[in-house]
Amino acid sequence: MMPALLEVEDLRVEFPTRRGLLTALDGISFAIDPGEVLGVVGESGAGKSMTGAAIIGLLEPPGRIAAGQVRLAGRRIDTLPYEEMRKIRGREIGAIFQDPLTTLNPLYRIGDQLIETMQTHLGVNAAEARRRAIEWLELVGIPAAAQRVDSYPHEFSGGMRQRVVIALALCAEPKLIVADEPTTALDVSIQAQVITLLKRLAREKGTAMMLVTHDMGVIAEAADRVAVMYAGRIAEIGPVREVVRHPKHPYSVGLMASIPPLDRRVERLAQIEGAMPRLSAIPPGCPFNPRCPYAFGRCRTERPELLETGATRAACWLYDAASERHVAGARAHG
């Protein structure tokens, strides 16, 4: 067994405000192996992008990591000085963001941006870097790459710019890719090509990938495992096939039920009643309990840790032996 490339342990992110501390991430733990794609899903505000930002050291002030550890290839990186972390971000961690305009410099040709990245992190000369830049553009599906390498970002469509961003993130051959909604701006056909490319590169290069998205179709196609997040915590984590087909946490069940089936027509999609709590109003116990149809007393007072549920782990008291006896007894007396 190879050791995990990325290890996140009890990660806690806080935002100090005039009204007190807001906890954005609370006890997040997971690991990603070399060559593995971990999908991270959940509603808007669940903490998906925040987790990625904390890992790559790009939390917006005044946000801060208040507890926990982030280790890359066994080395702790969450406590590194800014300059040292900046070097790691380019060489060992690649980032793909939803909006390519936040990554690409509009004043420089795309080839120059790729060349500079490779010269900085791989130490190759300009001629070799240019040759590799053209190869990477071809690899991500840019037509006539040898000519387009000298184009500026504004000369590309949104989908093509996103492909350039992916090439920029991958060209230094990082150990880890954090991809935050990398296909949202793309049409469906290009989206499928990009997902196939990311998955292939993870396999061939042994790159670990954290794929943040709200799109379960992307997760089902690209990920090996999936972590379902809710209110800054992991509700369920396990092999993607198990979580999609046999979800255990009530929130995961609701999330999967909201996906329209392809094999039959339905009049109305399932929905989860209520809304995600604000950071300033996360309820005690399980944060999902106000929306959960199976909640009982313990859910409202004690926070569940991730419990074994067979192939997956779910933060739900329904899978705790003591709770199961309690619920069974209540039903028997009901």
Over the stretch 1-31, which tens digit does the pLDDT of each residue have? 678 999 999 999 999 998 889 999 999 999 9
Rounded to the nearest angstrom, the gap between the alpha carbon of residue 128 and the centroid of all alpha carbons in its chain is: 33
Distance CA 210, CA 72 (A): 13
DSSP E strands, 183-310: 208-212, 225-230, 233-239, 307-308
Predicted pLDDT at 322? 59
pLDDT band with cut points at 50, 70 and 90 for residue 114? very high
How much is the pTM? 0.90
Mean pLDDT rounded to a whole number for the chain: 90
Between 218 and 247, the higher pLDDT residue: 247
Tokens 């005690």 identify what position?
Answer: 284
Residues 6 or more apart in contact with residue 269 via CB below 8 angstroms: 258, 260
The Cα 224–Cα 232 span in angstroms is 22
CB burial of 28-50 (b: ≥16 within 10 Å; e: otherwise) equals: bbbbbbbbbbbbbbbeebbbbbb
Q: Is the pLDDT of residue 135 over 70?
A: yes
Domain ranges in the chain are 6-92+174-333, 99-173
User: Which residues, at least 6 apart from 73, have a Cβ–Cβ distance to it below 8 Å?
Assistant: 3, 5, 92, 175
CATH topology of domain 6-92+174-333: Rossmann fold (3.40.50)
Coil, strand or helix: which one is 148?
A: helix
For residues 294 and 144, what is the distance between their CA atoms, to the nearest angstrom? 57
For strand 225-230 and strand 37-41, is the pairing parallel, antiparallel, or unpaired?
parallel
- Is residue 232 within 8 Å of residue 26, measured between CB atoms? yes
Tokens 């280790």 correspond to: 71
CA distances from 58 to 49, 89, 179 (A): 10, 10, 13
The 10s digit of each residue's pLDDT in 260-310 is 776 777 777 778 889 999 999 999 999 999 999 999 999 999 999 999 999
Pairwise pLDDT comparison (13 vs 181), residue with the higher score: 13
Helices (H), 25-71: 48-55
Does the structure show a pLDDT above 60 at 334? no
Angle at 272 between CA 275 and CA 243, to 5 degrees: 115
Q: Which residues, other chains included, contact 112 with Cβ-Cβ below 8 Å and sequence gap of 6+?
A: none
